[in-house]
Amino acid sequence: MSESAVTAEAPTAGLPPGDDDAGFFQKHGATIIFLAPALVLLGVWIVYPTIRTIIRSFYDRSGDDFIGIDNYRTLFTDDTLVTAIQNNLLWLLVVPFFVTAIGLVFAVLLERIRFSVAFKVVVFMPMAISLFAAGVIWRLMYEKDPSQGTVNAAIAVVADAVSPSGVLAAAQPSTEQLQADSGGSLVLDEPLEPGAVAQLGLTGIRSSEVPADAVQAVVPEALSGGITGVVWRDFKPGGGTPGTVEEEELGLPGVTVVLQDADGRSVAEATTEPDGTFAFEEVEAGPYRAAIGAKTFQESYAGVSWLSEGLITPAIMMAYVWVWAGFSMVVIAAGLAAIPRDLLEAARTDGATEWQVFRRVTVPLLMPVLAVVFITMLIYVLKVFDIVIAIAPGSVQDDANVIALAMWRTSFGGVNDFGLGAAIAVFLFLLVIPILALNIRRFRREV
Amino acid sequence: MRSRWVVCALLVAALAFVAAGCGGDDNGGGAEGSEDVTGEIAIMAIWSGAEQESFEAVIGGFNELYPNVTVNYTSGGDNLAPLLSTAVEGGNPPDLAAIAQPGLMAQFAEQGAIQPVDDLRDAIVDNFGEAVADVGSVDGTQYAVLFKASNKATVWYNVASFEEAGVEPPETWDEFLETAETLKAAGITPFSVGVDVGWPITDFFENVYIRTAGADMYDQLASHEIPWTDQSVKDALAVMAEIVGDSSNLAGGTETSLQTEMPASVAKVFSESPEAAMVIIGDFAPGVNADNPLEAETGYNVFTFPSIEGSDPASIGSGDLFVQFRDSPAADAFLEYVTTPEAAAIWAGRGGFSSPNKNLDTSVYPDEITRVTAGALAEAEVFRFDMSDLQPSAFGGTPGAGLFKAFTDFIANPDDIDGITQQMENDATRAFAG
Residue A91 lies in a domain: yes
**CATH code for position A224:** 2.60.40
Q: Are strands B137-138 and B141-142 parallel, antiparallel or unpaired?
A: antiparallel
**CATH code for position A338:** 1.10.3720.10
- Beta-carbon contacts below 8 Å between A and B: 123
On the 0-12 / 13-18 / 19+ scale of CB atoms within 10 A, A438 is: middle
- The verdict on A122 and A191 lying in the same domain is no
Residue A63 lies in a domain: no
Q: Is the Cβ of B86 closer than 8 Å to some Cβ of chain A? A: yes
- The verdict on A259 and A329 lying in the same domain is no
User: Chain B residues with CB inside 8 Å of A307's CB?
Assistant: 259
pLDDT at B314: 84
pLDDT at A245: 85
Instruction: Tell me: pLDDT of A5 over 60.
Output: no
Mean pLDDT of B230-251: 94
User: Chain B residues with CB inside 8 Å of A394's CB?
Assistant: 196-198, 399-400, 404, 408
Neighbours of B42 (CB within 10 A): 18
Give residue B392's region: left, alpha or beta (phi > 0; psi -120 to 50): beta
Helices (H), A273-362: 312-337, 341-349, 354-357
Residue A5 lies in a domain: no
Residue A336 lies in a domain: yes
- The verdict on A147 and A231 lying in the same domain is no
Cis-peptide into B366, omega within 30 deg: no
Distance (Å, rounded) from C-alpha B407 to C-alpha B179? 24
Inter-residue contact B428 to B226 (CB < 8 Å) = no
Give residue A63's region: left, alpha or beta (phi > 0; psi -120 to 50): left
DSSP B288: H
Q: Tell which residue, B175, B182, B101, has the closest CA to residue B143.
A: B101
- pTM of the predicted protein model: 0.77
DSSP A352: -
- The verdict on A437 and A328 lying in the same domain is yes
- The verdict on A292 and A362 lying in the same domain is no
Residue A52 lies in a domain: no
Residues 251-270 of B with CB under 8 A from A: 252-253, 255-256, 258-259, 261
Mean pLDDT of B149-166: 92
Contact A418 B85 (CB under 8 A): yes
User: In terms of pLDDT, which residue wins out, A153 or B22?
Assistant: A153
Helices (H), B303-416: 329-338, 341-350, 368-379, 387-390, 393-396, 402-412
User: Chain A residues with CB inside 8 Å of B398's CB?
Assistant: 409, 413-415
Distance (Å, rounded) from C-alpha A357 to C-alpha A365? 11
pLDDT at B190: 95
Q: Where are the domains of chain B?
A: 34-151+316-385, 154-315+389-433
Which chain A residue is nearest to residue B80, measuring alpha carbons? A412
State pLDDT tens for residues B422-431: 999 998 998 8
State pLDDT tens for residues B92-111: 999 999 998 888 898 899 88
DSSP B324: E
Instruction: Tell me: pLDDT of B179 over 90.
Output: yes
Which chain A residue is nearest to residue B399, measuring alpha carbons? A394
pLDDT at A414: 66
User: Chain B residues with CB inside 8 Å of A408's CB?
Assistant: none
User: Chain A residues with CB inside 8 Å of B179's CB?
Assistant: none
Q: CB under 8 Å to A203, separation ≥6 — which residues?
A: A171, A172, A173, A174, A233, A234, A235, A242, B184, B185, B186, B187
Number of domains, chain A: 3
Instruction: Tell me: pLDDT of A3 over 50.
Output: no
Contact B196 A393 (CB under 8 A): yes
- The verdict on A378 and A406 lying in the same domain is yes
Residue A391 lies in a domain: yes
- The verdict on A195 and A275 lying in the same domain is yes
- The verdict on A202 and A100 lying in the same domain is no
pLDDT at A316: 96
Chain A interface, Cβ < 8 Å to B: 61-63, 80, 143-145, 170, 172, 174, 203-207, 209, 234-239, 242, 302, 305, 307-308, 393-398, 401, 409, 411-418
- The verdict on A84 and A39 lying in the same domain is no
Q: Is the Cβ of B111 closer than 8 Å to some Cβ of chain A? A: yes
Inter-residue contact B354 to B379 (CB < 8 Å) = no
pLDDT at A389: 92
- Beta pairing partners, A258: A269, A291
- The verdict on A401 and A328 lying in the same domain is yes
Residue type, B210: I
pLDDT at A76: 92
Distance (Å, rounded) from C-alpha B397 to C-alpha B391? 7
Contact A394 B167 (CB under 8 A): no
- The verdict on A144 and A262 lying in the same domain is no
The residue out of A262, A297, A332 marking a domain boundary is: A297
Which chain A residue is nearest to residue B403, measuring alpha carbons? A395
State pLDDT tens for residues A241-297: 888 888 888 888 888 888 888 777 788 888 888 888 888 887 777 788 888 877 777
pLDDT at A21: 59
> Where residue A6 falls among pLDDT bands split at 50, 70, 90?
very low
The minimal CB distance from B394 to the residues A170, A394, A417 is found for A417
Mean pLDDT of B353-366: 88
- Cα dihedral B114, B118, B119, B123, rounded to 10, equals 110
- Structural domain including A217 reads 172-297
The residue out of A297, A330, A354 marking a domain boundary is: A297
- The verdict on A200 and A276 lying in the same domain is yes
Contact A305 B166 (CB under 8 A): no
Element (H, E) at A34: helix A19-42
Q: CB under 8 Å to A390, separation ≥6 — which residues?
A: A131, A132, A133, A134, A135, A136, A138, A139
Distance (Å, rounded) from C-alpha B173 to C-alpha B151? 19
User: Chain B residues with CB inside 8 Å of A391's CB?
Assistant: none
Instruction: Tell me: pLDDT of B114 over 50.
Output: yes
State pLDDT tens for residues B284-333: 888 777 778 888 889 999 999 999 998 888 888 888 999 999 999 999 99
CATH 3.40.190.10 fits B34-151+316-385, yes or no: yes
Which chain A residue is nearest to residue B397, measuring alpha carbons? A414
Please state which CATH class domain B154-315+389-433 belongs to: alpha beta
